[in-house]
């Protein structure tokens, strides 16, 4: 792929990421923020002494702060995903540009978010010991890195097995291998459970579902938007010329008209 196409796809990826970020922002505001407010209310009710002064107001956090974070994340995601798309196009199978974008988004959703989420799920404010935040963050990103590397390895193994086993059985074998490797990672990495005993299980479940819905919206909408833009760039529809009248034919018709 030439550099001009790479640049064009990078720009389109960032635009698609921006559009996906806008949709995810709506989901985050409608589903996520009410649960965050409820968790903060729980934290304030169980805090000892007077509540600490906020450096940034909650209203600013839930509007401008949320929008900035989600949109910047969406644009960054779109840029990195577009570069990964340039590498994957034509190497993962004979898929169209749109299908490749959908496949890449689905794999990225599973590897980058779902797999780490199942081991270390998202927690609302007031859940977790502040002294262990560094350890929890390190474990989460370690799980994410392992998931991404194992997903890439599964794709490579599937490609190598395809000539001998066929596409279907090669894919099944690669997916099963990925699942087994992730299972070992789940077993050996330490678990983290710092949810207070009296914290609402309903609120915790709703918060985690909202976090999952945000990521699902982000990756799905990115795959659809970027797939459309990539298809238009890489497989443009041929321009149809307007039919032109045959002057000789018109003269002959006019001459034969009584």
**Residue 159 pLDDT:** 87
In a domain, 95, yes or no: yes
Instruction: Determine if the pTM surpasses 0.85.
Output: no
In a domain, 27, yes or no: yes
**Residue 47 pLDDT:** 63
pLDDT along the chain (258 residues), means of 10: 83 94 94 87 67 68 87 93 88 82 92 93 79 87 94 90 88 94 94 82 91 95 93 76 51 47
**Residue 253 pLDDT:** 46
Residue-by-residue DSSP string for 63-110: IIIHHHHHHHHHHHHHHHHHHHHHHHTTTS-S--HHHHHHHHHHHHII
In a domain, 25, yes or no: yes
In a domain, 76, yes or no: yes
**Residue 250 pLDDT:** 46
In a domain, 70, yes or no: yes
**Residue 50 pLDDT:** 53
**Residue 17 pLDDT:** 94
Phi, psi (degrees; rounded to nearest 5) at 198: -95, 10
In a domain, 200, yes or no: yes
In a domain, 30, yes or no: yes
As given in the structure block, the two tokens for residue 152 are 């890439």
As given in the structure block, the two tokens for residue 198 are 């009296």
**Residue 3 pLDDT:** 79
In a domain, 202, yes or no: yes
Domain count, the chain: 1
Domain boundaries, position 93: 1-46+59-106+196-214+222-236
């Amino acid at each position: 792929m030439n550099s001009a196409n790479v640049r064009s796809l990078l720009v389109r990826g960032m635009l698609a990421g921006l559009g996906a970020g806008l949709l995810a922002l709506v989901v985050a505001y409608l589903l996520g923020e009410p649960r965050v407010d409820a968790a903060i209310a729980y934290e304030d009710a169980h805090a000892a002494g007077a509540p600490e002064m906020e450096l940034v107001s909650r209203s600013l956090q839930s509007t401008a702060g949320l929008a900035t974070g989600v949109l910047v994340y969406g644009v960054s995601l779109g840029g990195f995903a577009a570069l990964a798309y340039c590498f994957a196009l034509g190497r993962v199978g004979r898929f169209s540009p749109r299908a490749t974008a959908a496949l890449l988004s689905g794999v990225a959703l599973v590897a980058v978010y779902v797999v780490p989420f199942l081991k270390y799920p998202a927690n609302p404010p007031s859940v977790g010991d502040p002294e262990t935040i560094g350890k929890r963050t390190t474990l989460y990103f370690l799980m994410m890195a392992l998931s991404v590397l194992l997903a890439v390895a599964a794709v490579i193994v599937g490609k190598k097995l395809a000539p001998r086993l066929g596409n279907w059985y090669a894919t099944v074998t690669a997916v099963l291998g990925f699942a087994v490797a992730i299972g070992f990672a789940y077993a050996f990495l330490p678990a983290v459970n710092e949810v207070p005993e009296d914290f609402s299980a309903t609120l915790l479940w709703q918060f985690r579902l909202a976090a999952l819905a945000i990521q699902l919206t982000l990756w799905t909408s990115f795959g659809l938007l970027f797939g459309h833009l990539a298809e238009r760039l890489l497989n443009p529809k041929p321009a149809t010329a307007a039919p032109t009248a045959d002057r000789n034919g018109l003269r002959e018709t006019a001459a034969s008209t009584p």
